[in-house]
A and B are shown apart, each in its own frame.
Chain A
Amino acid sequence: MTNGIQETSPAIDIIGLSHRIGGRAVLADINLAVPSGRFVVLLGQNGAGKTTLFSLLTRLYAAQSGSIRIFGHDMRRHASAALARMGIVFQQRALDLELTAAQNLAYHAALHGLSHAVTRERITAELGRVGLLKEAGRRARSFSGGEMRRIEIARALLHQPRLLLCDEATVGLDIRSRADILADVRSLVQDRGLTVFWATHLIDEVKPEDLTVVLHRGRILQYDAAGVIVGGLGAGSLQDAFRQLTDAA
């Protein structure tokens, strides 16, 4: 696949994706194209299938049917190329608590094959960007929840991905930390042209202009700008629109 084709390919292209766990359909016939350079929200209640979709996108396990392409790279056949292009912030905290912030980032850099010099330079840049450079030598367990998330975002950006996947990245954080992290991730779209796929169940995190995927019981109910979804349903707010959609499903 040439670079030209990759440039025009959607950041995420999902076709006919279905997945069952323990006989239960967790995702059913998902079709979705996430355009490059946008902040796209995956909105769904707990149990809607968001984390399963993220697990399939990150190839923690493989899809039973359907296909996933990341910038044109088929996840089944070219997982390495696809994974190299994405940074991931998992729902569960995924820092090694025994290691320092810098060591956690260095470990991630090694897993992406970065050289020592590049690793050092990028750790300085990314921890500096999230305001934690001075704390680089502190053990991960000593950070607050919000700080841990910022370290995880810095880590996810270390190998300079073009796509950032955030699975409920603000869950469990106080209002201030939530707002800071959301603003920070949104700024990455503006500043770096990054594509962000942001899974959440918190409706107040969605702006009217955000492309929003409404996922419910493993099915996509709507995919459009949040403002368009609200207008199309004649609802007063996204919360009302979401309720209308999920009640009807």
Chain B
Amino acid sequence: MTIMAWIRCFIGITWREGLRFVHQRSRFVSALVRPLIWLFIFAAGFRSVLGVSIIPPYETYILYDEYIVPGLIAMIQLFNGMQSSLSMVYDREMGSMRVLLTSPIPRWFLLVSKLSAGALLSLPQIYVFLLIAYFYGIEPPPIGYVTVIPALLLSGLMLGALGLLLSSMIKQLENFAGVMNFVIFPMFFASSALYPLWKVGEGSPLLEDICRLNPFTHAVEMIRFMLYGRIDPLSIAVVIGCLVVFLAGAIVAYDPAKGMLARVRGGG
């Protein structure tokens, strides 16, 4: 297989994910509605209760709804990652994943391509969300709309890789509800998405420690800093580290010789 064949394969996988994305408009809308509800209702309600003092990357006092936006962006990616995991399980049950896995292109490359396609496709959703947020009065510096792109790609890849890893462990579609309860909700709520960590620490130092260990916290902080044109090296390092670990786990799990897939299938 030549390099060109690999490039065509990557383009083909991204194109297919794009087509599915276009065909599933309801998925696009629901991915958008979820953070908007949080922004318009939850954040509006808490605005008067919770002011956020000056903490990096902010250079002045900000309203709560401005604070919450990076967390909601990461929320879009978290749900996208889990949606991708769900679709992998569905494809496995429906048989269409076999077409992907029997390609002569190495399996690790197929998985990375699928992951990259998911991260790229989350960008339009996020920018539509940011556009709506802009008209609502959330105005990060203009350069932030550009500098945040690498953060969005990195966090999208990390959360997608987590979804991929989870998909290898889920035996049936019905088990997916467990992912909601045991992965999505704890990851989202035990993070800096909704409250600054110093504020969490005032209530429970233990919870603050848990939040600091949560990779999602670092995805949120990475996005927060880069949306304001700044860099938080610790967050970037943690996100890259988690991406490598999750991706390696997923590649092993999908490896025909080592993985878990052989154990979740029956004989014919």
Shortest Cβ distance from B95 into chain A, in angstroms? 3
Shortest Cβ distance from A85 into chain B, in angstroms? 9
Q: Does A90 contact B (CB under 8 A)?
A: yes
Partner-contacting stretch, out of A6-14, A49-57, A176-184:
A49-57
Interface residues of B: mostly helix, strand, loop or mixed?
A: helix
Central interface residue in A58, A96, A113, by most chain B CB within 10 Å: A113
Q: Does B199 contact A (CB under 8 A)?
A: no
Closest B residue to A57 by CB, please name it: B102
A185 cross-chain contacts in B, Cβ below 8 A: none
Whether the pair A113, B9 counts as a contact (CB closer than 8 A) is yes
Partner-contacting stretch, out of B17-25, B30-38, B75-83:
B17-25
Whether the pair B268, A52 counts as a contact (CB closer than 8 A) is yes
Q: Does A5 contact B (CB under 8 A)?
A: no
Whether the pair B268, A112 counts as a contact (CB closer than 8 A) is no
The interface size bin for chain A is 35 or more
Q: Does A186 contact B (CB under 8 A)?
A: no
Closest A residue to B16 by CB, please name it: A107
Whether the pair A83, B104 counts as a contact (CB closer than 8 A) is yes
Chain A residues 86-116 with CB under 8 Å of chain B are: 88, 90-96, 98-99, 103, 106-116
Instruction: Flag B251-268 by CB within 8 Å of A: 1 or 0 each.
Output: 000011101011101111
Closest B residue to A115 by CB, please name it: B8
CA distance A41 to B51 in the complex (A): 73
A221 cross-chain contacts in B, Cβ below 8 A: none
Contact of A109 among B12, B13, B267 (CB under 8 A): B12
Instruction: Flag A209-234 by CB within 8 Å of B: 1 or 0 each.
Output: 00000000010000000000000000
Closest A residue to B13 by CB, please name it: A110
A61 cross-chain contacts in B, Cβ below 8 A: 256-257, 259, 261-262, 265
CA distance A155 to B12 in the complex (A): 15
Task: Please judge, given known A-B contacts A21-B265, A60-B256, A84-B104, whether A103 and B19 are in contact too, CB under 8 Å.
Answer: yes
Whether the pair B98, A111 counts as a contact (CB closer than 8 A) is no
Closest A residue to B262 by CB, please name it: A61
Closest B residue to A140 by CB, please name it: B96
A107 cross-chain contacts in B, Cβ below 8 A: 12, 15-16, 99
A51 cross-chain contacts in B, Cβ below 8 A: 267-268
A80 cross-chain contacts in B, Cβ below 8 A: 1, 104-106
Closest B residue to A159 by CB, please name it: B104
Q: Does A138 contact B (CB under 8 A)?
A: no
Q: Does B179 contact A (CB under 8 A)?
A: no
Q: Does B248 contact A (CB under 8 A)?
A: no
Q: Does B4 contact A (CB under 8 A)?
A: yes
Whether the pair B99, A94 counts as a contact (CB closer than 8 A) is yes
The interface size bin for chain B is 35 or more
Shortest Cβ distance from A197 into chain B, in angstroms? 14
Count how many pairs of residues, one from A and one from B, have CB atoms less than 8 Å apart in the complex.
Answer: 130
Q: Does A194 contact B (CB under 8 A)?
A: no
Chain A residues 25-67 with CB under 8 Å of chain B are: 26-27, 46-47, 49-52, 54-55, 58-62
Task: Please judge, given known A-B contacts A62-B256, A96-B16, whether A111 and B265 are in contact too, CB under 8 Å.
Answer: no
Whether the pair A110, B101 counts as a contact (CB closer than 8 A) is no
Shortest Cβ distance from B176 into chain A, in angstroms? 20
Q: Does A24 contact B (CB under 8 A)?
A: yes
Task: Please judge, given known A-B contacts A62-B262, A98-B24, whether A111 and B100 are in contact too, CB under 8 Å.
Answer: yes
Q: Does A81 contact B (CB under 8 A)?
A: yes
A21 cross-chain contacts in B, Cβ below 8 A: 262-263, 265-267
CA distance A80 to B94 in the complex (A): 24
CA distance A49 to B8 in the complex (A): 35
Whether the pair B12, A111 counts as a contact (CB closer than 8 A) is yes
Closest A residue to B95 by CB, please name it: A92
Q: Does B11 contact A (CB under 8 A)?
A: yes
Q: Does B26 contact A (CB under 8 A)?
A: no
Closest B residue to A152 by CB, please name it: B99
B1 cross-chain contacts in A, Cβ below 8 A: 80, 84, 113
Task: Please judge, given known A-B contacts A61-B261, A94-B96, whether A111 and B103 are in contact too, CB under 8 Å.
Answer: yes
B106 cross-chain contacts in A, Cβ below 8 A: 80
- Can you list 29 pairs linking A and B with CB atoms under 8 Å apart? A21-B263, A21-B265, A21-B267, A24-B267, A47-B267, A47-B268, A49-B268, A51-B267, A51-B268, A55-B268, A58-B102, A60-B256, A61-B262, A61-B265, A76-B257, A88-B98, A95-B96, A103-B16, A110-B8, A110-B12, A111-B13, A111-B99, A111-B100, A112-B103, A112-B104, A113-B2, A113-B104, A115-B4, A167-B268
Known: A81-B104, A112-B103; 6 extra A-B contacts, CB below 8 A, are A21-B266, A47-B267, A62-B255, A83-B104, A103-B19, A155-B99
- The 5 lowest CB-CB distance pairs between A and B, nearest first, are A110-B12, A51-B268, A113-B5, A92-B95, A26-B267
